[in-house]
Structures are given as structure tokens and as C-alpha cells.
């Protein structure tokens, strides 16, 4: 029994923190606010040089074959930095979809270039769980073999810069059974429209499918189980991001409270602020342990992953939102300005709360799994 | 991360499980209880016997050093014992204050003679301890305590009063904070004494708690003679020792096994109650509440394993180690509050009324768990500690 990070994991986290402090500062985050891509390709290449996009790709495809926990640590740091861009959707979700369910030819075609960050993938799963909103996208058998996809997927992250997406669809001829397809974004009949939204560190799109043809090898299997796994990994990833975000808003509030003076003393000496900060810590530390546990079981005992991921997502997305709200309040008026960086995390927390299922959705899953 | 147990640990678990299966029923005791509640002397004797049998079987204080009756095992083994006791609904240990608070303090701070004299009797529950910290004028501001001890020859002479002393009415011994130098700054004139509760000049007056039970007491000292060798640590430097005990106390009060036990019982209750012609556990709103609580319990469980690992590796836990009491006691209160909502009017019925459900367990537990938010340093004080010592926020008083 050893519950904690290994030395190499501590080192990985430390490197990520330092790297993002240097290349992903709040100023860097702001620099992409107005850009349509919504992220820096140069930074993305640097991340690839550090091996981050290759973490979950097996060695046979030029990857590092690391664990979900390793990835979660990098994602925690990405949350701490409010890193913009498709990293998690490509290097974790699209990559795992291929590693765990891709046909041999699809793996061959994509994994190597995903690892090198020559390709960007994303996922179009929207909806909160298997079956939910699945009928928004329908897959019909094409006359000459393969599949025809039609319908829409909303809130697809970074579809406008992705080379392919892993899309969830219901199979028409099989009563809407869940299935996953790898769809290239350049496919005829596919239309991507950027949706402007609150969290400026993320980009999401509405993707319309108008009889988009995909070949047989584009199907990822087994559809239902893999879809569930991807939703769990997505929930975990957002939870990890929220952990880092919580640390950041806490740190900002504590630092500010030491320097801002009112009534002739630092505001951090007021108990109202001290207690608000302490409550964030009390939320944060157990949630961190839960996250490590969930990330660990994703590899070690996948049968317990669904419950753990649901718990981590339900807890951490609320912890982050609550911490961000408290942190804004602890800053006073300056915290409400566009100029101050805090709203970057405040809004990211809101994005995290709904992305891959609301806390209430995940609590209901916990209830169902435990058989209340 | 490695969440598997060693073969030795697994063996310990199955040995203990078998032992408990055979012995819990035989103890003649029902469920966990103790924690310094109102017990008649016969029940106390039964609880003492229970702890002694458990100790003789090798399942008490496993991580204590061998020379003082422990087995020098890793903290994880002790956690396994706690988990199995929980699963088996084994009676709680009546000597908990000695085992969890004084024992670890003595192991670090006690003299060799003190360790040999007191530790073995803590293990077997032969001597039950109480904690003499709080006074009428010294609660959260513990260092304001006034109970006076003067060294005269080879004895301290103690005069003053303690209050809220849990279990003093049936304790054999007290670990007690006294002022030995009234002229020194308040943190530097305090000493830590071990006092025999049968000493002449000690008077114990039980106080009735809001639960209706006698749990804590007033303790009056009038020229009580305490041998000088009963001083723990150095004269006037007892504050450090006192704080060591407080850290152990807070970990005990925040222990996750308590929350796990309450959640299990709450879920069973929710399954047995009905709302809108279905089990309450199927009610969409109540399910949300249950799940939110289960998630908090689960998070604390892993948090505890994280801290255990730190301890095993001799690492200081820092900030994460400061939250247990705050989080654990608040969580227990929330668990009990949810149970009261589940019970509805039945929550009002006295324990022995037929209207009382689940053996009248919850109303008592609900009040008790509020007491634990206050005892051992209130929630407010815990937050002060986290903010000031943990986060370094400015302290201006
Ligand atoms: C069930 C129970 C069992 C107990 N058992 C024992 C025992 O065995 N031995 C023992 O020695 N003591 C025991 N106590 C006493 C306990 O430690 C004290 O009650 C506790 O420390 C609070 O002290 P007080 O009651 O004097 O409250 P006060 O200190 O008077 O507090 C009153 C209120 O003011 C708040 N407050 C005080 N100071 C601050 C501050 N600096 N910042 C913010 N808020 C503050 C408190 O949080 C509280 O809300 C027990 C208490 C209970 C409830």
C-alpha cells in the first residue's frame, strides 16, 4: 500500500508547472482570447517536444506508454495555468479512443502523428452519458458498405482545428445502439461552426453532419463500452483540470490578501477571509486524493473506474466553482474586472462544471452504481 | 500508487476477520458505542474486557514499539484493523483517549519510566484516561489556563478547576495541563502532568449534555499532590507536549472510519424508509444528497491513505494533515442531519418509544456529532490554524 505519487510523477508535475509558468502565463492565455484557433501552435509543439502528446500512445507507435495518472498530473497543471487548446481532447480522449478501440489501419494512420502532434483529434460525444442525446447523430449503413452519418453534435471542442473527431452516434438499423466513428473533418458533408461562449480558454463548435460517409474501418469498438470509457476519461480529465484551477484561485486569493490593506491591516488578517481560504483547502485536499485514486484505477482496476471518475467529477467541478467564487469575493472590486486574471479561472470553472456531465448527473451515476 | 496490501497485511486482515466473527457476539456488547458516554460500571467492565481480549489477540496499537507492548508494525496494518473493526460492527475501545491521544504523546515525549509504567495499562484498558485541558476561562484560548501547580519537595500541589472533561467520572487517570509559572508569557508557564484521579482533593461533578447523558464533567482540585516524576516533558514547556496530544486528538476525531460507518447506516435507513410509495433511497432529491455524502466520505478515505503513506515514509504532511478534524466532524454532522431528515417525525421520538426507528440511534448521534465539531478545538479554531499556520495568512490579534 502506497498512496501517493512516485518520484518520477512528482518530477513530471514539477516540470509541467515550471514549463507552463514560463510559456503559458496568464498573459499568454490572454493572447489567444481573440484568436479564432484559440491556442498557440508554437506552445503546442513545445508540449509535444516534452512528450505530453505521446504520453498515452504505445511505444510501438512512437509513444511513451505512460499511465492515466501521469496524464492527470499534467492536466492538473494545465488547469493551474488555464492552458487553452485541444490538448486534453486530442492527447487523452481521441488518443485513448484509438488506442483502445481503433482498427489496426486507423491506429497505423493516426497514432504516430497524434504522438508527434502533427495531428489534432477531438471527440464529439456531447450529452451526458451513453444513450443521452445519442440520437442527435444517426449512423445508417451505406449502400456500398461503410456508414452515413447525419445529424448534429453541439459543443464539440476544437473541431475547427482538428483533423478528425471521434463521434458518438446511434446505429439506425440497430435501434440506436451506441457506436463510435472516426470522422475526418475534411469529409464532404461536414460543417463546423465556432460557437462563441463564456470560457475564452476553450473553443467549442457546432458540427453538422449531412450524410457524411465513413468507411468500415472508421468504426471504433466496442462502441458502448468504449463510449462509456471515453466519457469517464473526459470526466476525470476535467476533474484534474479543476484540481489545478482550485489551487490557482486559492493561491491568488491568499497572495492578494497578504498585500491588500484596509483598516490599516492586511485583509488576509480578517477572519472572514481566513475562513474562506481554509474552507477551500478543506475542499481541495480530500478531492486531490480522490482524483489520484480515480486516475490510478483507470489503469489498475478499470471495473472500478466509472464510480471513481463520477465521484471525482461531481466533487471537483463543484469544488473549483466554489473556490473561484470565493476567490473573486476575496479580491473585492478588482476581482470583478476584465483586467484582473481571475475571471479566466472563474469562467473555466463554469465550463468544467457542465463539460462531460453536471455534478448532479454524476451523483446520480454514483447512486446507480452503488444501487441505492 | 500501489493500492494492494502485502501478504502479511492480507494475512492480518483475514486472521482478524475470523477472530472478530467469533468474538464480537461473545463480547455481550452491541455495536460501536463508547466515546465517554454514560455507562454503568458493569458495562464499563465489559468494555474493558473487550479491549483486553482484543489486545491479547494482537489487535490493539499495532504500530507502537515492541518494548511497550506494541508490535512495531506499519500504520497501514493499524488502518486495516480499524477497517475490519468497522466492517464487523465491533464494539469500540473504551480506552481510546489513552490509546489515541496520550499513548502516542508519551511515546514521543515521555520518560523511559513513564512509558514502562503507563503504556501497558493503556493497551489493556486497565487504566482509563481523561483529558484535563479546558477550564471555565480557557476554551479556544487554551493557553489562558489557570489551574495552578506548585512544586513543593518531590510533589506538585495542584489547585484549580477543569471543565468539559469527558469521561472523568469513570477515568483512573488524567493527563492535565497546569500553570507552573504564572509570571512567564502564557505559552511558557504551562506543564503537562499525569494525575491519579483517586488522589485526595479531586472532586468530579458530572454535567448533563444536551443529549440527556452525563458525558463530560467539572473536575475540582484542592491541594492535590502529584509526584514530581509525573511531569511529561520539561517544566514550563508543556505547551509543545499539549499540542502533540491535540494533533493526535484531531486525527482521532476526524477518523474516516466513523464517517464510513455513519454512511453505511444512513444508506440502510434510506432504503428502509418510504417516500411517495418507493424507498427513500430512490427519491431523486434524496439520492443526490446521499451521493454527495458518499463522495465526501470516499474522498476522505483516500485522503487518509495519503496521510498514512506520508507517515510511513517519515514525511511531514503539512497542510493536508491539518484538515482532518474540521472535515471529518462536519461530515459526520451532515451525515446525521441527512438521517434526521430521512426519519421525519420519527427523529423526535425518544429512544425507547416504538415510534423511534433504527433503535433511536440517530437523534443522539446527531447531537453528539455537533459536540465533536466543538470539542478538540472548534471548527472556527481549525480554520484559523489552516489559514495562519497552513497558508501563512497574517495573524493580527
Ligand atoms: C462534547 C465535548 C467534549 C469535550 N471533552 C473535553 C475533554 O475531554 N477535555 C477537555 O479539556 N475539553 C473538552 N471539551 C472542551 C472543548 O475543547 C471546548 O469546548 C472547546 O475548545 C471550545 O472552548 P469553549 O467551550 O470555551 O468555547 P469558546 O472558546 O468560548 O468559544 C465560543 C465561540 O467563540 C469562537 N471562538 C473563540 N475563539 C475564537 C477565535 N480565536 N477565532 C474564531 N472564533 C473563536 C468559538 O469557535 C466558539 O464558536 C469538550 C467539549 C465538548 C463539546
What are the extents of the domains in chain A?
A: 7-119, 122-221, 224-369
Does B292 share its domain with B204?
A: no
Position B29 scores a pLDDT of 86
Rounded mean pLDDT, A199-204:
97
What's CA B260's distance to the chain center, in Å?
16
Nearest CA in chain A to B5: A1
Atom of ligand 1 nearest to the CA of B134: 11
**How far apart, in whole angstroms, are the C-alpha atoms of residue A4 and residue A17?**
18
A263-277, B78-92, B352-366: which is most confident: A263-277
Q: Do residue B291 and residue A314 have CB atoms under 8 angstroms apart?
A: yes
Question: Mean pLDDT in chain A?
Answer: 96
Position B36 scores a pLDDT of 62
Nearest CA in chain A to B392: A254
- Environment class of A173 (CB within 10 Å of its CB; exposed 0-12, middle 13-18, buried 19+): exposed
**B157 has pLDDT over 60:** yes
Position A129 scores a pLDDT of 47
**A296 has pLDDT over 80:** yes
Does B372 share its domain with B275?
A: yes
Taking Cα atoms as reference points, which of A217, A263, A238 lies closest to residue A315? A238
* Residues of chain B positioned with their CB less than 8 A from the CB of A8: none
Say which DSSP state A39 is in.
S
Atom of ligand 1 nearest to the CA of B397: 41
CATH topology of domain A7-119: Butyryl-Coa Dehydrogenase, subunit A; domain 1 (1.10.540)
Verify whether ligand 1 is closer than 6 Å to residue B147 (CB atom).
no
Are A230 and A123 within 8 A, CB to CB? yes
List pLDDT tens digits, range B276-323: 999 999 999 999 999 999 999 999 999 999 999 999 999 999 999 999
Peptide bond into A75 cis (omega under 30): no
R_g of chain B, CA atoms, integer Å? 22
φ, ψ of residue B340 in degrees (nearest 5): -65, -40
Domain-located, residue B118: no
List pLDDT tens digits, range A42-88: 999 999 999 999 999 999 999 999 999 999 999 999 999 999 999 99
* pLDDT top residue among A132 and A288: A288
Sign of CA dihedral B254, B256, B260, B261: negative
Nearest CA to ligand 1 atom 29: B140
Verify whether ligand 1 is closer than 6 Å to residue B161 (CB atom).
no
Does B78 share its domain with B157?
A: no
Atom of ligand 1 nearest to the CA of B209: 1
Chain A interface mutation, best of B282, B291, B378, highest count of A Cβ atoms under 10 Å? B291
Query: Angle, to 10 degrees, between the axis of helix B7-23 and the axis of helix B75-87?
Result: 30
Position B351 scores a pLDDT of 87
Domain-located, residue B162: yes
List pLDDT tens digits, range A130-167: 445 777 899 999 999 999 999 999 899 999 999 999 99
Does B258 share its domain with B231?
A: no
**How far apart, in whole angstroms, are the C-alpha atoms of residue B340 and residue B318?**
36
Position A112 scores a pLDDT of 97
Domain-located, residue B115: no
Domain-located, residue B105: no
Does B260 share its domain with B357?
A: yes
Position A130 scores a pLDDT of 45
Peptide bond into B158 cis (omega under 30): no
Nearest CA in chain B to A282: B323
* String of DSSP letters for B25-86: GGGT--SS--SS----HHHHHHHHHHHHHHHHTT-SSTTS-GGGT-----HHHHHHHHHHHH
Does B271 share its domain with B376?
A: yes
Nearest CA to ligand 1 atom 37: B140
Domain-located, residue B248: no
Domain-located, residue B172: yes
Does B177 share its domain with B212?
A: yes
**A25 has pLDDT over 80:** yes
Position A139 scores a pLDDT of 96
Are B327 and A288 within 8 A, CB to CB? no
Are B68 and B114 within 8 A, CB to CB? no
Rounded mean pLDDT, B9-35:
90
Q: Which of A269, A285, A370 sits opposite B303 (nearest CB)?
A: A285
Active site residues per annotation of B = 249
C-alpha cell at B97: 483517549
Are B114 and B194 within 8 A, CB to CB? yes
Domain-located, residue B395: no
What residue numbers bound the domain in which B137 lies?
Answer: 129-236
**B27 has pLDDT over 90:** no
Beta-bridge mates of residue A168: A180
Position B40 scores a pLDDT of 87
Q: Do residue B299 and residue A286 have CB atoms under 8 angstroms apart?
A: yes
Is this structure's pTM higher than 0.80?
yes
Q: How confident is the model at residue B96 (pLDDT cuts 50, 70, 90)?
A: very high
Find the helix or strand (DSSP H, E) in which B266 lies. helix B256-272
Does B272 share its domain with B364?
A: yes
R_g of chain A, CA atoms, integer Å? 21
Q: Do residue B306 and residue A3 have CB atoms under 8 angstroms apart?
A: yes
Sign of CA dihedral B305, A279, B327, A297: negative
Does B268 share its domain with B192?
A: no
Question: Mean pLDDT in chain B?
Answer: 95
Position A127 scores a pLDDT of 55
Position A132 scores a pLDDT of 57
Position B253 scores a pLDDT of 87
Nearest CA in chain A to B268: A372
A224-369 has which CATH code? 1.20.140.10
Does B231 share its domain with B270?
A: no
The number of domains in chain B is 3
List pLDDT tens digits, range B216-267: 999 999 999 999 999 999 999 999 999 999 999 988 888 899 999 999 999 9
Chain A interface mutation, best of B268, B302, B328, B390, highest count of A Cβ atoms under 10 Å? B302
> Under CATH, domain A122-221 is a member of which superfamily?
Butyryl-CoA Dehydrogenase, subunit A, domain 2 (2.40.110.10)
Does B266 share its domain with B382?
A: yes
* Residues of chain B positioned with their CB less than 8 A from the CB of A297: 3
Domain-located, residue B219: yes
List pLDDT tens digits, range A214-253: 999 999 999 999 999 999 999 999 999 999 999 999 999 9
Position A131 scores a pLDDT of 44
C-alpha cell at A189: 458533408
Best substitution site from B371, B375, B379 to test ligand 1's pocket, by max atoms within 8 Å of Cβ? Answer: B375
Does B153 share its domain with B61?
A: no
**How far apart, in whole angstroms, are the C-alpha atoms of residue A63 and residue A55?**
6
Q: Which residue has cell 504516430?
A: A112
Q: How confident is the model at residue B397 (pLDDT cuts 50, 70, 90)?
A: low
> Residue B64's domain is classified under what CATH number?
1.10.540.10
Nearest CA to ligand 1 atom 27: B139
**How far apart, in whole angstroms, are the C-alpha atoms of residue A67 and residue B379?**
39
> Residue B361's domain is classified under what CATH number?
1.20.140.10
Amino acid at each position: 500500500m502506497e498512496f501517493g505519487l512516485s518520484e518520477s510523477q512528482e518530477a513530471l508535475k514539477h516540470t509541467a508547472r515550471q514549463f507552463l509558468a514560463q510559456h503559458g502565463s496568464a498573459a499568454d492565455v490572454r493572447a489567444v482570447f481573440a484568436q479564432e484557433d484559440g491556442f498557440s501552435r508554437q506552445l503546442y509543439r513545445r508540449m509535444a517536444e516534452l512528450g505530453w502528446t505521446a504520453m498515452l500512445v504505445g511505444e510501438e507507435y512512437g509513444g511513451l506508454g505512460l499511465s492515466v495518472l501521469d496524464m492527470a498530473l499534467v492536466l492538473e497543471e494545465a488547469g493551474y495555468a488555464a492552458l487553452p487548446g485541444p490538448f486534453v481532447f486530442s492527447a487523452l480522449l481521441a488518443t485513448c479512443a484509438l488506442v483502445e478501440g481503433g482498427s489496426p489501419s486507423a491506429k497505423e494512420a493516426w497514432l504516430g502523428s497524434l504522438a508527434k502532434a502533427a495531428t489534432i483529434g477531438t471527440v464529439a460525444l456531447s450529452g451526458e452519458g451513453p444513450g443521452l442525446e445519442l440520437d442527435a447523430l444517426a449512423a445508417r449503413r451505406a449502400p456500398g458498405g461503410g456508414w452515413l452519418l447525419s445529424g448534429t453534435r453541439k459543443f464539440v471542442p476544437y473541431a475547427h482545428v482538428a483533423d478528425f473527431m471521434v463521434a458518438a452516434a446511434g446505429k439506425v438499423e440497430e435501434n440506436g445502439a451506441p457506436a463510435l466513428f472516426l470522422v475526418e473533418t475534411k469529409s464532404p458533408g461536414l460543417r463546423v461552426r465556432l460557437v462563441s461562449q463564456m470560457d475564452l480558454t476553450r473553443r467549442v463548435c457546432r458540427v453538422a453532419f449531412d450524410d457524411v460517409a465513413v468507411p468500415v474501418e472508421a468504426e471504433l469498438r466496442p462502441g458502448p463500452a468504449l463510449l462509456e470509457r471515453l466519457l469517464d476519461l473526459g470526466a476525470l480529465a476535467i476533474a484534474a483540470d479543476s484540481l489545478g484551477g482550485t489551487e490557482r484561485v486559492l493561491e491568488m486569493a491568499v497572495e492578494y490578501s497578504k498585500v491588500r490593506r484596509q483598516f490599516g491591516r492586511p485583509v488576509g488578517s480578517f477572519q472572514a477571509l481566513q475562513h474562506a481560504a481554509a474552507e477551500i483547502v478543506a475542499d481541495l485536499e480530500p478531492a486531490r486524493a480522490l482524483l489520484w485514486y480515480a486516475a490510478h484505477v483507470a489503469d489498475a482496476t478499470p471495473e472500478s473506474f466509472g464510480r471513481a471518475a463520477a465521484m471525482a467529477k461531481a466533487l471537483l467541478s463543484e469544488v473549483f466553482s466554489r473556490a473561484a467564487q470565493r476567490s473573486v469575493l476575496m479580491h473585492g472590486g478588482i476581482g470583478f474586472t476584465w483586467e484582473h486574471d481571475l475571471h479566466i479561472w472563474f469562467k473555466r470553472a463554469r465550463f468544467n462544471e457542465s463539460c462531460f456531465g453536471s455534478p448532479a448527473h454524476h451523483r446520480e451515476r454514483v447512486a446507480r452504481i452503488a444501487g441505492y | 500508487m500501489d493500492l494492494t496490501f502485502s501478504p502479511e497485511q492480507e494475512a492480518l486482515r483475514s486472521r482478524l476477520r475470523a477472530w472478530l466473527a467469533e468474538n464480537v457476539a461473545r463480547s455481550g456488547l452491541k455495536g460501536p458505542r463508547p466515546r465517554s458516554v454514560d455507562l454503568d460500571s458493569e458495562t464499563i467492565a465489559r468494555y474493558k474486557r473487550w479491549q483486553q481480549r482484543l489486545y491479547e489477540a494482537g489487535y490493539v496499537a499495532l504500530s507502537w514499539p515492541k518494548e511497550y507492548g506494541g508490535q512495531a508494525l506499519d500504520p497501514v496494518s493499524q488502518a486495516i484493523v480499524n477497517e475490519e473493526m468497522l466492517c464487523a460492527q465491533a464494539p469500540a475501545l473504551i480506552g481510546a483517549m489513552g490509546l489515541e491521544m496520550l499513548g502516542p504523546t508519551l511515546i514521543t515525549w515521555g520518560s523511559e519510566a513513564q512509558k514502562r509504567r503507563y503504556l501497558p495499562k493503556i493497551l489493556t484498558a486497565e487504566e482509563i484516561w481523561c483529558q484535563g485541558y479546558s477550564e471555565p476561562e480557557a476554551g479556544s484560548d487554551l493557553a489562558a489556563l489557570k489551574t495552578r501547580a506548585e512544586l513543593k519537595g518531590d510533589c506538585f500541589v495542584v489547585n484549580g478547576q477543569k471543565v468539559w472533561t469527558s469521561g472523568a467520572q469513570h477515568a483512573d487517570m488524567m493527563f492535565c495541563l497546569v500553570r507552573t509559572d504564572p509570571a512567564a508569557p502564557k505559552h511558557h508557564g504551562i506543564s503537562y502532568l499525569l494525575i491519579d484521579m483517586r488522589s485526595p482533593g479531586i472532586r468530579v461533578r458530572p454535567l448533563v449534555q444536551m443529549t440527556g447523558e452525563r458525558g463530560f464533567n467539572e473536575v475540582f482540585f484542592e491541594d492535590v499532590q502529584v509526584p514530581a516524576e509525573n511531569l511529561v516533558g520539561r517544566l514550563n514547556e508543556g505547551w509543545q507536549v499539549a499540542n502533540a496530544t491535540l494533533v493526535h486528538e484531531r486525527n482521532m476525531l476526524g477518523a474516516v472510519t466513523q464517517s464510513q460507518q455513519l454512511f453505511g447506516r444512513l444508506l440502510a435507513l434510506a432504503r428502509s424508509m418510504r417516500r411517495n410509495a418507493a424507498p427513500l433511497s430512490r427519491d431523486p432529491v434524496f439520492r443526490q444528497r446521499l451521493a454527495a455524502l458518499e463522495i465526501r466520505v470516499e474522498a476522505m478515505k483516500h485522503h487518509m491513505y495519503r496521510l498514512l503513506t506520508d507517515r510511513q515514509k517519515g514525511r511531514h504532511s503539512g497542510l493536508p494533515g491539518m484538515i482532518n478534524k474540521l472535515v471529518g466532524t462536519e461530515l459526520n454532522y451532515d451525515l446525521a442531519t441527512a438521517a434526521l431528515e430521512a426519519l421525519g417525525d420519527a427523529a423526535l421520538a425518544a429512544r425507547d418509544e416504538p415510534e423511534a426507528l433504527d433503535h433511536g440511534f440517530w437523534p443522539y448521534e446527531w447531537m453528539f456529532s455537533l459536540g465533536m465539531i466543538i470539542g478538540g478545538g472548534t471548527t472556527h479554531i481549525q480554520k484559523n490554524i489552516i489559514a495562519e499556520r497552513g497558508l501563512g495568512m497574517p495573524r493580527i490579534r
